[in-house]
Amino acid sequence: MNFKSIFLAAAVSLTTLGVVPEAKAQQCELFDSFSICYEMVGLQGTYNTWNLTVINRNWTEEMQVVCDGKRMNNWSSRGGASQAEANQLAETFCSI
Instruction: For domain 3-95, give its CATH number from 3.40.50, 3.20.20, 3.10.450, 3.30.60.
Output: 3.10.450
Q: What pLDDT, in 10s, does the model give residues 39-87?
A: 999 998 899 999 999 998 888 999 999 999 999 999 999 999 999 989 9
| Residues 79/61, Cβ–Cβ less than 8 Å | yes
CA 93 – CA 87 distance, rounded (Å): 10
Q: What is the pLDDT of residue 19?
A: 47
Q: What is the pLDDT of residue 56?
A: 87
Residue ranges covered by each domain of the chain = 3-95
Q: What is the pLDDT of residue 21?
A: 45
Q: What is the pLDDT of residue 18?
A: 44
CA 10 – CA 16 distance, rounded (Å): 10
Predicted structure pTM score: 0.72
Q: For residue 34, is pLDDT > 80?
A: yes
Tell me the residue type at 53.
Answer: T
Residue 83's SS3 state is helix
DSSP count for the chain of H helices, then E strands: 2, 5
Question: In the β-sheet with 34-44, what is the strand arrangement from edge to edge?
Answer: 27-30, 34-44, 47-56, 60-68, 71-79
